[in-house]
Structure 1
C-alpha cells in the first residue's frame, strides 16, 4: 500500500480533479506560476491513467473589474491585465499538454476559487464518484478552495503533493503541512510515484 493512502482501496469510484492548469499561469503573465512546468509531467502521467475520469477546471476571469462586485472588484482592479478585455483569449485555455485529453476528459469552467459552484458535484455523484485525486494550481488558492468544499461535500481526497504547484514556495510548503497535520481524516497526501504504485497494486 502506498504510504499516504491510509484508508485502503477506492476501486472504480474515483475521478481526477485537475485544477486550473491553464496558459494564463504557465505563460509569462502577471500570474505566472513557475512550478507549473515542473509538475506538468506528473499531472500528465495521472491524466493518462484514465482521461475519461479527468475533470479539468478553468478559472475564467471577468471581462473587466466593473463586471464583478465586492472584493472581487478590488482584486481585478489590481490585476486588470488578467481581465478578458486585456489578456489574449487563448490564455484561458488549458496548457497544450493537457488540452489534447479533452475530450474524453471534461472541462468545468468557474469564476471563483472553488470548483463546486456549477454542475461538478451533481455530475460526479451521478457517476458514483466518492474519491477525488487532486492536482493543479495553486496549492494554497484554487486547489485549497476546491479541496475545502470537497471535504464539506464528503469526498475522500487524495492530494498529489508533486502534482500541485504555487508561485510561492513558503505558502505551498505550509499548505502541504497543514493538510498533513490538520486534515488527516479527510486528505491523504501522496506522491505521484506512490499513487502509480497503488494503481499497479490494484487499489483503484
Structure 2
C-alpha cells in the first residue's frame, strides 16, 4: 500500500524528531548488527542536520549482567549474555558517530526496554513543551520503533513515520509492520518518505 502523504497538513514548529536506537550496538560487527541501519543512516543524518535542536535520540541500554533484569528480561539476558554491559565494549551503547556529533543541541534519552515511554522520562520531557507532533526514524521497525509509535498514538501525538529512515534485521516483519502502520493505523500514523518530511518541515 502506497503512502498517502502528510494527510494532516504540513509539519510546523511543534514537531520533534525521535530517532530510535541508532547506536553502535546495531552497527556492523556487533552481535545485534542491523544491516539496514547503514542504508537509512544518511537520510536520518540529513533530517537531524536540518533540525538538531528538535531531535531526541533514544538509546537502548542492556542489563548490567546476565540475569540482572526484571521478570522475563532476566531470561532474555541469559540468552543474550554477550550483550550485557559486563561483556561488551561500553562504546557500543553510544550513538553512531555521524549522529553523535549533533549532541548537543540534540538530546539523548536512555531506556532499558523497547519503549521510550515506560520509564516516564519521555513523558516528563514532553509535558508542557508545546510539542504535538513526533517524527519517528530509526530501528527496529518491528520492535523499538513499534513501541515508540504505539506510545505516541496512545498519548494523542500526531505521529509521522519516515518510511525510508526506519530499519529492521528481518525483512518479513518489517514489511508486515509497514502494512500495519499504513492500514490499521491509517488515521493515526502518516507514513511518508524523507523527501516529503524535509520539504514540509522547515
The interval holding the TM-score normalised by the smaller chain is over 0.9
Supply the distance in 1 between the matched residues of 2:52 and 2:112 (Cα, whole angstroms): 24
SS at match of 2:17: strand
> CA shift at 1:122, angstroms?
2.2
Task: Work out whether 1:28 is the aligned partner of 2:29.
Answer: yes
SS at match of 2:181: helix
The answer to whether the Cα contact below 8 Å between 2:15 and 2:54 also exists between their aligned partners in 1 is yes
Supply the distance in 2 between the matched residues of 1:126 and 1:173 (Cα, whole angstroms): 36
SS at match of 1:66: coil
The answer to whether the Cα contact below 8 Å between 2:40 and 2:167 also exists between their aligned partners in 1 is yes
Supply the distance in 2 between the matched residues of 1:95 and 1:78 (Cα, whole angstroms): 25
The answer to whether the Cα contact below 8 Å between 2:36 and 2:167 also exists between their aligned partners in 1 is yes
Q: 1:64-118 deviations in whole A, cap 9, x for unaligned? A: 1221121111111111110000010000000000000000000000000001123
Tell me the matched-pair count: 199
Task: Work out whether 1:150 is the aligned partner of 2:152.
Answer: yes
The answer to whether the Cα contact below 8 Å between 2:158 and 2:188 also exists between their aligned partners in 1 is yes
Q: Give the aligned partner of residue 161 of structure 1.
A: 163
Supply the distance in 2 between the matched residues of 1:124 and 1:9 (Cα, whole angstroms): 21
The answer to whether the Cα contact below 8 Å between 1:65 and 1:72 also exists between their aligned partners in 2 is no
Structure 1: give runs of 5+ residues left out of the alignment: none
The answer to whether the Cα contact below 8 Å between 1:3 and 1:194 also exists between their aligned partners in 2 is no
SS at match of 2:46: helix
SS at match of 2:127: helix
The answer to whether the Cα contact below 8 Å between 2:16 and 2:134 also exists between their aligned partners in 1 is yes
Moved more, 40-49 or 5-14: 5-14
Structure 2: give runs of 5+ residues left out of the alignment: none
Output aligned runs, 1:35-184, within 5 Å: 35-116=36-117, 117-184=119-186
Supply the distance in 1 between the matched residues of 2:8 and 2:128 (Cα, whole angstroms): 23
> CA shift at 1:134, angstroms?
0.1
Supply the distance in 1 between the matched residues of 2:58 and 2:134 (Cα, whole angstroms): 14
Q: TM-score, normalised by structure 1?
A: 0.94
> CA shift at 1:54, angstroms?
0.3
Q: 1:147-181 deviations in whole A, cap 9, x for unaligned? A: 11111111110000110000011111110110001
Question: What is the RMSD computed on CA atoms of the aligned residues?
Answer: 1.3
SS at match of 2:58: strand
The answer to whether the Cα contact below 8 Å between 1:140 and 1:171 also exists between their aligned partners in 2 is yes
Supply the distance in 2 between the matched residues of 1:178 and 1:148 (Cα, whole angstroms): 12
